[in-house]
Structure 1
Amino acid sequence: MVCVCGDDGRHEYFNRVWREYGAADFASSRWMEWVLPADQRQFDPAMREAMLAGGAFEADLRILHPVDGARWFLLRVCPLPDGLDGGRRWLLSLTDIHARKRRELALLRDSRLQREMLDISVDCIKLVRPDGTLARMNRAGCVALNVGEDSGFGMDWLHLLPREAHQAGRQALLKAKQGENARFLGISQLPGQDPRHWDNMLTPLKNADEDVEAILCVSRDVTVQRASERRIALLLHELAHRSKNMLAVVQALVRRTVPDPQAPFVAILGQRIAAIARNQELLINGQWSGITIEKLLASQTAVIGDVNQKRLLLHGVGGLRLLPETAERLGLAIFELTTNAIKYGALSNDTGTVAIDWAVLERNDGDRFRLVWQESGGPRVKAPVRQGFGTAVIERNPRAVIGAAVTYRYEPEGVSWAFEAPKSRVLDEKASAAAAPAAAVETGAAPLL
């Protein structure tokens, strides 16, 4: 839409599009009455000032339409060459920008909501450029790092952190610049306040060409969590200490209660109590989150001594973490198998060996964990006439794991024992997956599985 007006406010010309827009009086000097009052108050003084100065002017404004309601237009006012009468004239144009303006306003609204959303978060959220300078930071980050929200940022991000966190932060930033996620712990302390612990997670933001354009750093306050972890560690330490004392009291009561403290069964009972104590200590030291198979085997076969460790042949995947309940049952079974091998089996002579293998087997009905104990090279063995407590611990106790199957055989070449159960009932899969990949454990002859 185009029109021409003079300095006196009279409009000399309206093109057809202008004349056909809205009501009849829109193509007149009263056309500004159709501009929304809020927009009119905003642009009218500025337009008059520009016209007095003889300069151009433009503004976005909304004009009412009888049918469509208010629509956005771009108003441009440009001076025309002076006419023959010496009077100044102006060319006014209105360009429909309704669709574009709605997109702009929606974008601005989304941007505002995102800023408000980030500012509501208690996490410190920062946008860091690849060169390490700070591009933006939410309100919580500004408070934690004592930076003004209107500072404009641009400062070196690492220099806002305590000196102790610089090395870890620098390594994490380098890793993120290379396109990988990174994480490190840090501490901040404002004057007169207690230290606050932060878990910093860096995520690279890539463009379509996979180049890192920026790095998102989310820092979560884990001060309460760290304090809770310290309390839990203290309680677990106290629990381990009291458990050891209680088991020691039990051993002392047994020795003082039986008629003959030197009787063989007293020593056997003491060894079994010690095995329970070792199991408890391993679990408590792991904060009752289970233990790796390697640690369990090392603990419960320690009775054979360092010299005979070379006769223990281990084969399996490293780093698999057993659930606490399963670790207790398997640990006691391994201890009983070890003591039996020392007394009667492969470890009772100078040449026998024990192979312990474990693996996760893929099955159509679900993955299963299998642990095998195989003795060889020892004296010929045969099943005992009477089955005692040891047999129950070796065979029946592990069977209490849901879905487990246990085989325990006295074969001529040596004792054979196998435990198999659903992987989900044996392994802490999340802890095993989260742990750093461990090399396979190989300490002897070819594996059985």
Structure 2
Amino acid sequence: MIEDILDRLLRGETIRRYPARLRASDGSIKHVEITSSGQFIYGNFVNTRCFSVDVTDLMEARAQAARKDDFLRQVLDALPAAIFMVNASGKLTYVNNAANELVTQEPKIGEDDWHTTFRLFTRDGHEMPHEQRPMTIALKTNRAVWGVEAMTQRADGSLIPVMPFPTPICDESGNLSGAVNMFIDMSKRKQAEDMFRHAVEASPSGMILVDPDGRILMVNEATAQIFGYSRLELLGRTIEDLIPAHFRCDHAAYRQGYSAYPTVRVMGASRELFGLRKDGTEVPVEIGLNPIVTDQGQMVLSTIIDISDRKRAAERERLLVRELQHRSGNLFAIVRAVISRSLSGDRTLSEARSVLDSRLTAMARTFQLLHDLEWSDVNLGDIVRAELEPFGNRVKIDGAEVTLAPAVAQNFSLALHELATNAAKYGALSVPDGLVEIRWFNADGDVASKIQFEWQERDGPPVAVPRRQGFGSKLLKTVFPVAQLDFVPDGLYCKIAAETSSSAL
């Protein structure tokens, strides 16, 4: 170093902050910077003056800073997120390994602009204008721009969803010196969102996602079917639009109370809930609430189940229980009529026992037939004969073979039992000479989708219009609302129009 300094001084150079190392008196090595100039007389070098500044601490600080800088770069290079830095003019100053995977060729640090190296696209695939890109806004306004969803291009040309996080970097004076940007790959999140949407769409129950203000953000097709709207019509509405007016005034308070203490909750356990369809009708529902925390705040995913069928089934079950109780009471009246008829005349005890046994067996078949209706279709003629066989030739039957669905067949069995019970108690079958004529035929010509069934009593006691509607009439009207009952003097007449499950044979 001394020879180099002397050579330069002899050439007339001035040495400024020349880095060197000197050994101190204690044997330690010091880092110094030497400033020196030579003195010449008549062109001859006479002497030099050297000023040495101890920069050992400064050099150590620079070494530590270099080590930290190297460590930071290793950390940034190891991160899976794409990170790059720019100076105040937008030139790239650093690109980590993950970011290098998003470019077609290695960027030139200090030369390439970030916006030509990293291309951004909108979510629908159109290239984002330069002035709208988050990094452009961050450099222009000296503020962080987070939460903008976009797409960027891989080296192979494919687009991936990302969320940029550009953040300005300022010097000690607060002046903008550059910015750092990080691209978070949203592919897995988008896949999870797609899976969530598919799960919601595939659900047989209605699913509605609402924001903190109760505005509908997402619905599935099942919801549209429950409420009678198109999905597009539901988006943007408030959830109160789907609530009947007499419940609507209190719902906003309920919703605010739930937002204060969000939990998984089932509504409708203690009281009946109803939704409001587009046509103004109400539908009974059960509702489940599930809070969901998102980047846009707390959302609520509501599960809506139309329980109309369940309520109808429950009402039908109650009706059938009442019918069972009613039938048990009427059974004694029928048995009494059967016994009385079987023991009348001049039959021997053995003959009467045989006739009575056959009629009671026919009644038992009727009950067994009701049990069998749950598993297969039933022929209407079988139902009529099973129910009325105990009355023998006092019943005339005329009708084609028609197969009924189990539910329709069950209704016919109930209706026939009530008609037969009434006839045995008060009508034509309560007297020795009374008759019942039964006929049915197709009401749709060649297509047996509908039949007309007629019951006519003759030669019975005088018929009077009842003062009140008994349970039997109520049951008949329940299973066949359009059934016609005429209490004419000649005998009770009943007409039933019903749907069938298959064509007549």
TM bucket normalised to smaller: 0.3 to 0.5
Higher relative contact order (CA 8 A, sep 6+): 1
Q: TM-score, normalized by length of structure 2?
A: 0.41
Q: TM-score, normalized by length of structure 1?
A: 0.46
